[in-house]
């Protein structure tokens, strides 16, 4: 038994050491520093959005102890991800574990570097959640996130990074943004400086459909349009107050969450069919999806 425990203990220590080569300290707020993960060798760093209190005077502590300045590239509050660019090169990027490789019950380690030296805590993956339409993949764990661990990696037994830890996405729960979501957000922030999201320009509320329309659509409720923004894609395409949106492209729409999910998976500038019920009749309206500023 002691040999088994020693082997496991050595393996976990090795995983921390492997991941630690890509873990940095992020000093971007008045109180305790937080943690970041090297994204690329040329100085791109990811960390938690909520630990970056200002857009300037950011310092990054490298694994070798050197402190360098960094600038904010962009941030996404919805996933609590911020991207920094440190004035350095030759960094070590980690190996990332894809979402389908992570299972409930897997042993994991949260790794942090809030004060310069590596710290780690052990736990298990307790739940997984995903929304493919919005490309949001999260892992919930029972790992204790010590102060300053936000922005750091969740690591598997092989030293691969499962995702970025956050203490801000769900109060009282240790949540990790998984690799596929991190990649999607970081690529958009690096390219555009912000997350690009589709925009229709309507205010809606759930409403029951007329019986005939509900039977034809196999759908009992839709999104009643209660306001249309001036100059919006909806106005330009001829969507009016009182119309009820039932789908956008291939996505069913019954409420605001459904509409946002549909917009999140639809390319900005693309022309899609918005199916509405108007005067009891079902019709399709082509709409060019805009970009929310």
The domain that holds 209 is classified in CATH as 2.30.42.10
- Confidence tier at 245 by pLDDT (50, 70, 90): very high
Q: Are residues 157 and 70 in the same domain?
A: yes
pLDDT tens-digit series, residues 249-286: 988 999 887 888 788 777 889 999 999 999 999 999 99
User: Of 22, 49, 76, 80, which is the active-site residue?
Assistant: 80
Q: What is the 3-state secondary structure (H, E, C) of the chain?
A: CHHHHHHHHHHHHHHHHHHHCCEEEEECCCCCCEEEEECCCCCEEEEEHHHCCCCCCEEEECCCCCEEEEEEEEEECCCCEEEEEECCCCCCCCCECCHHHCCCCCEEEEEECCCCCCEEEEEEEEEEEEECCCCEEEEEECCCCCCCCCCCEEECCCCCEEEEEECCCCCCCEEEEEHHHHHHHHHHHHHHCCCCCEECCEEEEEEECCHHHHHHHCCCEEEEEEEECCCCHHHHHCCCCCCEEEEECCEECCCHHHHHHHHHCCCCCCEEEEEEEECCEEEEEEEECEECC
Q: Are residues 152 and 214 in the same domain?
A: no
pLDDT tens-digit series, residues 47-71: 999 999 987 889 999 999 999 999 9
- Mean pLDDT, rounded, for 142-156: 95
At residue 132, the pLDDT reads 65
Q: Are residues 282 and 231 in the same domain?
A: yes
Structural domain boundaries, residue 248: 198-291
What pTM, to 2 d.p., does this model score?
0.79
User: Of 33, 49, 76, 150, which is the active-site residue?
Assistant: 150
Q: Are residues 16 and 64 in the same domain?
A: yes
Q: Is 150 a catalytic residue?
A: yes
User: Of 22, 49, 50, 167, which is the active-site residue?
Assistant: 50
> Into how many domains does the chain fold?
2
- Mean pLDDT, rounded, for 158-182: 92
Q: Are residues 105 and 25 in the same domain?
A: yes
At residue 293, the pLDDT reads 67
Q: Are residues 104 and 213 in the same domain?
A: no
- Mean pLDDT, rounded, for 176-189: 93
- As a whole number, the mean pLDDT across the chain is 92
Q: Is 284 a catalytic residue?
A: no
Give percent of the chain above pLDDT 70. Answer: 98
Q: Which of 155, 172, 195 is the last residue of a domain?
A: 195
Q: Are residues 157 and 101 in the same domain?
A: yes
At residue 234, the pLDDT reads 94
Q: Is 255 a catalytic residue?
A: no
Q: Are residues 174 and 39 in the same domain?
A: yes
Q: Which of 145, 177, 195 is the last residue of a domain?
A: 195
pLDDT tens-digit series, residues 192-241: 888 888 889 999 999 999 999 999 999 999 999 999 999 999 999 999 99
Q: Which of 167, 195, 223 is the last residue of a domain?
A: 195
């Amino acid at each position: 038994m002691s040999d088994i425990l020693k082997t496991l203990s050595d393996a976990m220590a090795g995983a921390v050491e492997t991941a630690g080569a890509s873990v940095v300290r992020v000093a971007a707020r008045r109180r305790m520093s937080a943690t970041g993960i090297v994204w690329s060798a040329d100085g791109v760093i990811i960390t938690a959005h909520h630990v970056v209190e200002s857009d300037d005077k950011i310092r990054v502590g490298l694994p070798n102890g050197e402190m360098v300045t960094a600038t904010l590239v962009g941030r996404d509050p919805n996933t609590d991800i911020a991207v920094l660019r440190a004035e350095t090169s030759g960094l070590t990027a980690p190996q990332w574990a894809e979402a389908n490789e992570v299972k409930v019950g897997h042993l994991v380690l949260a790794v942090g570097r809030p004060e310069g030296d590596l710290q780690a805590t052990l736990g298990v993956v307790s739940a997984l959640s995903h929304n493919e339409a919005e490309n949001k993949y999260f892992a919930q764990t029972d790992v204790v996130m010590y102060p300053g661990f936000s922005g750091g990696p969740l690591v598997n037994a092989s030293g691969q990074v499962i995702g970025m830890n956050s203490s801000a996405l769900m109060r009282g729960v240790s949540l990790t943004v998984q690799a596929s979501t991190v990649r999607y957000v970081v690529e958009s922030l690096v390219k555009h400086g912000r997350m690009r999201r589709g925009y229709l320009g309507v205010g809606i509320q759930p409403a029951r459909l007329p019986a005939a329309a509900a039977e034809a659509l196999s759908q009992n409720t839709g999104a009643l349009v209660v306001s249309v923004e001036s100059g919006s894609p909806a106005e330009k395409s001829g969507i009016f107050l009182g119309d009820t949106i039932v789908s956008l492209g291939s996505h069913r729409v019954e409420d605001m969450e459904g509409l946002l999910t549909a917009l999140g998976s639809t390319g900005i500038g693309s022309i899609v069919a918005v199916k509405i019920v108007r005067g009891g009749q079902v019709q399709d309206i082509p709409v060019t999806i805009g970009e929310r500023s």
